[in-house]
Amino acid sequence: MSKHNDLPTDPASRRGRGWARPLRLAGLAGGAALLAGCGIEQEQAFELLGLPEPASEQAFLTGDLWVGTWIAALVVGALVWGLIAWTSIVYRRKRHHDHMPEQTRYNIPIETLYTVVPLFIIGVLFFWTFQNGDQVLAKEPNPDVRIGVIGQQWSWTFNYIDEDVYDVGTAATIPQLYLPVDQRVEFQLNSPDVIHSFWIPSFYFKMDLIPGRTNSFQVTPNREGTYAGRCSELCGTYHSRMLFEVVVVSQQEYDAHMAELEAKGQTGLVEVPGRATFDPERVTTAPVSGSGGEE
């Protein structure tokens, strides 16, 4: 407050003080809103409002919802900032008439507007959330590839169901999940211990792995490359090590990798253990349970 005493006191600068503060606040809020969208991948952060470049056919559904929601939020924000600035300028304290502006209470049209407009906004967001959610979760009866995913404390096991081979990571070695490009993949998710969440940020999708039930979803990777994967459900001491990599490759490279796993003797499918495995020693040094061909 004492700072204000240092300001020059000619009428022009006093007039300026009325709107400088709200405008500065509006600028800060706007800057914060934009900054919140940055950070994951700097290059495209601005365009995609923080999302990584999409790597699946279905990603645009979630991407559109994300960007659309931000646009809706910014329109509402701009309106609110505008109203704050406007009232601050028009109703700022004036030297000669120093009374309160007229107060409006129990104004039915305005109160109705206050109620209807937010309901409308939420209704539109609700509609698109459900619409896109349905499409993202849609499943076709015959996916090209089926992958069994087991999330165990604290790594991942991948069963290549159609090829009858598996791969398994430990908290010390990050496992790689190979997927053929442009093929519809069905993921079948299981957990032997606690709830984990299978998250591939570049697919704009994650789904929980819940002990005792099988969740599933389908996705079509459409860009070759290596993408980060992680567990996004706090699942215990070494949750942060529950990383994996998704390697999207051509069909030939995919087949070669399957042959490689077979040559390593990783044949058969890993079964979901019936109970929790809380032994960190076991998780960091050895596969959870390579059942080698048993059904």
- Residues found near Cu ion in the complex (CB under 5 A): 196, 231, 235, 242
Place of tokens 């087949």: 255
Measured from the CB atom, the residue of 49 and 149 that comes closer to Cu ion is 149
What CA–CA distance (Å, rounded) separates 12 from 111?
38
Measured from the CB atom, the residue of 231 and 261 that comes closer to Cu ion is 231
What CA–CA distance (Å, rounded) separates 248 from 228?
11
Is residue 151 within 8 A of residue 170, CB to CB? The reply is: no
Amino acid at 184: R
Shortest spacing between CB 177 and Cu ion, in angstroms: 15
Q: Is the dihedral of CA 206, 183, 269, 155 positive or negative?
A: negative
Measured from the CB atom, the residue of 149 and 165 that comes closer to Cu ion is 149
Is residue 190 within 8 A of residue 150, CB to CB? The reply is: yes
* Region class of 218: left (phi > 0), else alpha (psi between -120 and 50), else beta: beta
Shortest spacing between CB 208 and Cu ion, in angstroms: 10
Shortest spacing between CB 182 and Cu ion, in angstroms: 29
Measured from the CB atom, the residue of 154 and 254 that comes closer to Cu ion is 154
What CA–CA distance (Å, rounded) separates 222 from 57?
6
Shortest spacing between CB 244 and Cu ion, in angstroms: 11
Measured from the CB atom, the residue of 160 and 199 that comes closer to Cu ion is 199
Shortest spacing between CB 229 and Cu ion, in angstroms: 11
Shortest spacing between CB 209 and Cu ion, in angstroms: 8
SS3 at position 274: coil
Is residue 267 within 8 A of residue 165, CB to CB? The reply is: yes
What CA–CA distance (Å, rounded) separates 37 from 67?
10
Measured from the CB atom, the residue of 146 and 196 that comes closer to Cu ion is 196
| Tokens, residue 119 | 């309901």
SS3 at position 248: strand
Shortest spacing between CB 230 and Cu ion, in angstroms: 8
